[in-house]
């Protein structure tokens, strides 16, 4: 549902997927779609978030590599 919701309205794939989801979910489709749309608006889709996390973890992994497995990690 999420992958379908984030597709552009002009993308024909969106409507094909949505039709299949409507068939499977029946009367629950609209409530689920609204919930997923709200979630999609809150979701940050940016590589900068991941890069920030990686930069914070990089020093930890670097240190761990040099300490070796003698510490029981």
The predicted model gives 57-72 an average pLDDT of: 67
The predicted-structure confidence for 33-51, as pLDDT tens digits, reads as follows: 999 999 888 877 778 878 8
Structure token pair of residue 64: 């761990």
The model's confidence at residue 65, banded by pLDDT at 50, 70 and 90, is low
Give the HSE-up count for residue 13: Cα atoms under 13 Å, Cβ half-sphere.
7
- Report residue 67's pLDDT band, with 50, 70 and 90 as the boundaries: low
Question: For residue 45, with 0-12 CB atoms within 10 Å meaning exposed, 13-18 middle and 19 or more buried, which class applies?
Answer: exposed
pLDDT tens for each residue of 12-40: 999 999 999 999 999 999 999 999 999 88
pTM: 0.55
């Amino acid at each position: 549902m999420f992958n379908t919701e984030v597709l552009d309205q002009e993308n024909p794939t969106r409507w094909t997927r949505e039709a299949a989801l409507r068939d499977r979910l029946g009367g629950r489709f609209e409530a689920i779609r609204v919930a997923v749309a709200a979630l999609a608006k809150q979701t940050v889709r940016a590589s900068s978030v991941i890069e920030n996390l990686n930069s914070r973890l990089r020093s930890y992994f670097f240190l761990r590599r040099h300490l070796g497995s003698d510490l029981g990690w």
